[in-house]
Amino acid sequence: MKTLITARFDRQYTKLLETVTTDYAFAGYGVTGEKMPVPEMKVKIKGIELLITEFEDITDEVIEAADRLKIIVCCRNEAFASVDIGAATAKKIPVLRAGGRNAIAVAEHTIALFMCVSKNISLTDHLLKYTDELTGVSYKDGSGRRAETMSEWSMDPDAPFALYGGGPEMYQKTFGQVGFGMIGREVAGRARALGMELLIYDPYVSQRDMDYLGAKKADLDTVMKDSDFISVNCNVVPETEGMISREKIALMKPTAYFVNTARAKVLDYDALYDALKENRIAGAGLDVYPVEPIPSGDKFLGLKNVVLTPHLAGSARDIVGHQTEITLHDVKKLLAGEPPRFICNPEVLS
């Protein structure tokens, strides 16, 4: 099976690849770090039977130019972001995706954001490195016996311990999880490992599916109202667009923290900004934004009670191995006449 691989590929899975095909070539983003342009893809796709891609734009033009293509693999959770699935379906070409490839990475990043914002880790790191606010200061209790016997920075009321300490422990707090798919389950599992009580909103998942974590299924209002930490990890579908609205944010405790590592469309960012600015909630962590890259001068950049990262949650060096293994196993299943785990257009198999 003649194969073109433009995705990042973990070479430790070469033997697994060669159980599928020995006629393969690497090109595009996985080699150069830059997406292959569509005109070049239209040429490269000629004679290719299996395409394993990641970030290249597999448009209707590319699919139309493919004269022998039998399988498209997109090494992303959301294959539609790179592949015209409708065009592939029209030509009866199955499109596979790397479901859950970055679930662990996103889950770890989510918990890290909660810790950074609730314990003022990012804020105080910035103040120490880039300002004299905490270093160029002489505290009243900086001399005498206390200074000789204790290693504390200072116990003055304007010192870091008083100003930036005292954040909540996560242990035995209520963790609200919005969305209980592959990523949501990884997040909830880590929260449970920290000794938290779990409230989960996902209308498509039963209580029985949550029992292994000792979690309680709840409606969205209950999650927003009763949780101390709230994580959003749901897909963007018509039902979830704008789901975390101004009204839902108004239900949150003033001591609660909120993190969004899902998609910007699920959240009313203006409402969240108002709640943070007015200290109606304790803090937030954000990895996704309505406009990316986030514009210079964006109003969120001026808030001290929010930790911002530039859409990094789904990025980890281990993901390349995950996506390689996940997709190759599904290709093997498809070739053996078995249903693959992650297919975007199963109707083409019937």
Please give the positions annotated as active site: 263, 292, 311
Q: Are strands 71-74 and 24-26 parallel, antiparallel or unpaired?
A: unpaired
State the virtual CA torsion across 2, 318, 283, 236 in degrees, nearest 10: 20
Contact 128, 135 (CB under 8 A): yes
DSSP letters, 217-250, are E--HHHHHHH-SEEEE-----TTTTT-B-HHHHT
- Rounded CA separation 311/288 (Å): 5
Which helix (H) or strand (E) covers residue 176, if one does? strand 174-178
The number of angstroms, rounded, from the C-alpha of 208 to the middle of its chain's C-alpha atoms is: 25
DSSP classification of residue 304: S
Contact 8, 25 (CB under 8 A): no
Contacts of 230 (CB under 8 A, 6+ apart): 175, 176, 178, 223, 224, 252, 256, 257, 258, 259
Q: Are strands 197-201 and 174-178 parallel, antiparallel or unpaired?
A: parallel
3-state secondary structure of 295: coil
Sign, Cα dihedral of 251, 257, 262, 264: positive
DSSP classification of residue 214: T
